[in-house]
Structure 1
Amino acid sequence: MTPAGPKTVVIGVMPFNEQYIIGEMMALLLEKEGYSTEIRSGMNNAALYEAVKAGQVDMYVDYTSSVYYQLPDREPVDRWAPEEVYAIVEKGLTRDGILLAGQLGFRNDNVIVIPSAWAAEQNVITISDLAPYAKDMVFGSDLVFHAAVEDGLPHVEKVYNFSFGEVRPMDPSLTFVALQSGNVDAIVAYTTDSRITLFNLTALDDDQYAMPPYHAILLVNGKRGEDKNIIAALSPLINGIDSATMRQLNSRFDVDKEDPEIIAREYLVPRGLIPA
């Protein structure tokens, strides 16, 4: 039986690893329920937001703080408590006629990363735990994080009341190499970067909420969201993928150069979510 509504469900994806993979998962889950799908890639989150709002794209995965920054009348925050940001975002989405169908489980935040061996030796788990050591550490930062007063390194140092001994701004492609070679002691990275696991690094918990939370969230055009079968088809993704799992999947794309459709299928099939 063909599902009711427009024939093809249009899924938007941004042009990077996890977006391609999750987009393929969404398509496979919907196709299992009889929907035809089209994956439309290449747009950034601002363009996708407007496209979903207008009904040109039916759904896509965004991140809580990315949406927060797009809201014209967003409530200012000093500490980025995830629940508070989520509530502000959900309110703004509802006003724009977009359904927030839920969180996927992983986050793509900025995180401070250190070698796991040193973290274990010093029992450093949170950014607060760095306080006694920061003045003697060299921090490698990308150029954006280095200068972002509201949510980057200046805000981290203000909230935690410490400063790194030296900060070296650099191209983000060089930060992991610098950490591996010992040229810096800590770097900023993204939660789902596969190199965190690959290089045996520890991502520190932002226990004082100095940096914005980027929970992956599923956004659906309000009209499409009225189709309960679509929401039910996608429900296995809600709270279904944690950050460690997303790093592993991203590694298959980034390091092993696998096709995202194959990665998605080989994630869903063993879990009984789609037929082999």
Structure 2
Amino acid sequence: MIAAIGQLPPLIASHVLLAGAAMLLALLIGLPLGLFAARRPRIGGAILAAAGLIQTIPGLALLALFYPVLLWLSSFAGGRIPALGFLPALLALALYALLPILRNVVAGLGGIDPAVLQAADGVGMTPGQKLHLVELPLAAPVAMAGIRTAAVWTIGAATLSTTVGYPSLGNPIFSGLQTENWSLVLAGCLGAAGLAIAADGILALIEHGLSRRRRAPLFLGVALLLIGFAAALAPAFAPRERTVIVGAKNFSEQFILARLIGARLEAAGYRVSYREGLGSAVAFRALEQGDVDVYVDYAGTLWTGAMARTDMIPRDRMLAEMARWMAEGPKTAILGPLGFENAYALAMRPGAGIASLADLAVRAPALSLGADLEFLDRPEWRAIRDAYGLRFREQRAYNPTFMYRALASGQADVISAFSSDGRIAADRLVVLADPRAAMPRYDALLLLSPARARDARFRAALRPLIGAIGVEAMRQANYLVDRDAGKATPEQAARRLETELAKPRP
């Protein structure tokens, strides 16, 4: 738990920066828009309905929707608009915070006693004076209640920014869920809850000052907000060498390999940080844009996803075509294969009497398929489904760790396993043969961003990893993290893997 807490300070700073900026943007939009909606009820109803519609979209989906929008806008701006990281998270969270702000501003202004407004008109106040001296002070307590609600929502939803490549307190939560390291999950949750409670308390102080018209609590609350935001901004202005960003997807093997890569780069003198929990398409796009400097991806994923290829060709030709495609298009580079393959494969508990996908097709209508979060939307699933005519009674998506749990508990009969996962051997799972070769190869490849592809020192630091990691070594490292008892952290598994790589080969 102590180690988990030690990871929090930089994540808290980036979390506060994101949530604070999103709330500021929401206030800049929501306060004048709320005033306009209160003045024109017919149009105001449509504005509130639109804000309500946005609120019905799940936070994760709203974040994901900004990715293609910003990508499209970036194509008109010469690629200068970042589609990942801070900007999409900022925009999504600001939109998500609008509804409580708008609704309470409208309610606060609408709840003022008409007699008070008539009295203000009677003493000859101008509209501006009436707004400043009468309406805003009377509506402020109700409006502040909406702002407090929006702040708590925003701080909680900011944990989802991890999925679009912005570091936050979601990092330990997502990493801990995958590796079943509950101290990490608890640390992330407590950190986010603590921030939400602190923000609500400070805003309550401001609300007290406004409602009682007392300057001391009002100024103290504003000062505390400014101090907190300034502290979160401070790391961004600290002089330092450019940090190398090591990317990782959302499963144990990726966390381990990211730490292995990071250790090599730190030994070579680089400053390293990690951007984890990325989806496949997001990870490669982040590499292409330079938001990630290096990460590990898999040949089949790139072939069917980024390259949109459906044909199956020999391994050497596949790697050569990938390297040529990267050089001509995204300008990224393959430093080389790490030496093992992590292929998708359907797996079952032993004793079912099914040995191949062809056998499975006969009995699939009575069985349940458990898949990882991406598999059912990937071209690989469509390829084997159509090649073998697979039709299951039920299909469910799980976090990869919970997918194996579902198989063990009988909630799933078949799962989309990974060939380098140590749980295959530990649980004595049967990996079903693919006699029609519907699945592509999945060599683990070390990928470099356009800038790092031309960096000889960077390439030299990582070149010893090429061809050095066998599938058994990777399975053992994965199992250290994924096993039930005495589990290791990704950092510990990476160090163990590093030790294995240092041993002389027979």
State the TM-score bracket (shorter-chain normalisation). Answer: 0.7 to 0.9
For the residue of structure 2 that corresponds to 1:142, the secondary structure is strand
**Is residue 135 of structure 1 aligned with residue 362 of structure 2?**
yes
**Is residue 156 of structure 1 aligned with residue 384 of structure 2?**
yes
Out of 87-96 and 139-148, give the one that drifted further: 139-148
Q: Give the Å deviation of 1:145.
A: 8.6
Q: Give the Å deviation of 1:206.
A: 3.0
Amino acid at match of 2:380: D
Q: Give the Å deviation of 1:219.
A: 0.9
Amino acid at match of 1:264: A
**Is residue 169 of structure 1 aligned with residue 395 of structure 2?**
yes
8 Å CA contact 2:478, 2:493 repeated in 1? no
Q: Give the Å deviation of 1:199.
A: 0.8
**Is residue 213 of structure 1 aligned with residue 441 of structure 2?**
yes
**Is residue 272 of structure 1 aligned with residue 498 of structure 2?**
no
Counterparts in 2 of 1:149 and 1:241: CA distance versus 1, 3 Å = closer
Give the Cα–Cα distance (whole angstroms) in 2 for the partners of residues 10 and 146 of structure 1. Answer: 26
Residue 60 of structure 1, aligned match among 292, 295, 311: 295
Counterparts in 2 of 1:269 and 1:176: CA distance versus 1, 3 Å = closer
Residue 191 of structure 1, aligned match among 419, 424, 445: 419
For the residue of structure 2 that corresponds to 1:23, the secondary structure is helix
Q: Give the Å deviation of 1:205.
A: 4.2
Amino acid at match of 1:48: A
Counterparts in 2 of 1:225 and 1:183: CA distance versus 1, 3 Å = closer
Pick the structure with more helix per residue: 2
Map Cα deviations across residues 215-239 of structure 1 (whole Å, 9 max, x no partner): 3211112332223332232123222
For the residue of structure 2 that corresponds to 1:258, the secondary structure is coil
State the partner residue of 2:472.
244
**Is residue 229 of structure 1 aligned with residue 463 of structure 2?**
no
Q: Give the Å deviation of 1:197.
A: 1.6
> Could you list the runs of 5+ residues in structure 1 that have no partner in the other structure?
1-5
Q: Give the Å deviation of 1:159.
A: 3.2
Counterparts in 2 of 1:147 and 1:30: CA distance versus 1, 3 Å = closer
For the residue of structure 2 that corresponds to 1:93, the secondary structure is helix
Amino acid at match of 2:362: K
Give the Cα–Cα distance (whole angstroms) in 1 for the partners of residues 406 and 276 of structure 2. Answer: 32
State the partner residue of 1:47.
282
Larger RCO of the pair (alpha carbons < 8 Å, separation 6+) = 1
For the residue of structure 1 that corresponds to 2:347, the secondary structure is strand
8 Å CA contact 1:80, 1:209 repeated in 2? no
Q: Give the Å deviation of 1:27.
A: 1.4
Give the Cα–Cα distance (whole angstroms) in 1 for the partners of residues 347 and 283 of structure 2. Answer: 30
State the partner residue of 1:3.
none
> Could you list the runs of 5+ residues in structure 2 that have no partner in the other structure?
1-240
8 Å CA contact 2:247, 2:258 repeated in 1? yes
> Scaled by the length of structure 2, what TM-score is found?
0.43
Residue 35 of structure 1, aligned match among 270, 273, 278: 270
Counterparts in 2 of 1:186 and 1:48: CA distance versus 1, 3 Å = closer
Out of 97-106 and 44-53, give the one that drifted further: 44-53
1:14-33 matched pairs, under 5 angstroms: 14-33=249-268
Residue 258 of structure 1, aligned match among 465, 484, 488: 488
Amino acid at match of 2:310: V
Counterparts in 2 of 1:185 and 1:94: CA distance versus 1, 3 Å = same
> Scaled by the length of structure 1, what TM-score is found?
0.73
**Is residue 112 of structure 1 aligned with residue 346 of structure 2?**
yes
Map Cα deviations across residues 149-200 of structure 1 (whole Å, 9 max, x no partner): 9532x6335435x768x64424447764565567876543222333212211
Counterparts in 2 of 1:45 and 1:168: CA distance versus 1, 3 Å = closer
Pick the structure with more strand per residue: 1
Amino acid at match of 1:90: A
Counterparts in 2 of 1:257 and 1:149: CA distance versus 1, 3 Å = closer
Count of residues in Structure 1 that have an aligned counterpart in Structure 2: 256
Amino acid at match of 1:92: W
For the residue of structure 1 that corresponds to 2:493, the secondary structure is helix
Question: Which of structures 1 and 2 has the bigger CA Rg?
Answer: 2
Q: Give the Å deviation of 1:93.
A: 1.5
State the partner residue of 1:101.
335
8 Å CA contact 1:140, 1:175 repeated in 2? no
8 Å CA contact 2:345, 2:432 repeated in 1? yes
For the residue of structure 2 that corresponds to 1:269, the secondary structure is helix
8 Å CA contact 1:68, 1:88 repeated in 2? no
Counterparts in 2 of 1:105 and 1:225: CA distance versus 1, 3 Å = same
**Is residue 13 of structure 1 aligned with residue 248 of structure 2?**
yes
Matched-pair identity in %? 28
Amino acid at match of 1:206: D
8 Å CA contact 1:140, 1:178 repeated in 2? no
Counterparts in 2 of 1:238 and 1:116: CA distance versus 1, 3 Å = farther
8 Å CA contact 2:345, 2:418 repeated in 1? yes
Amino acid at match of 1:217: L
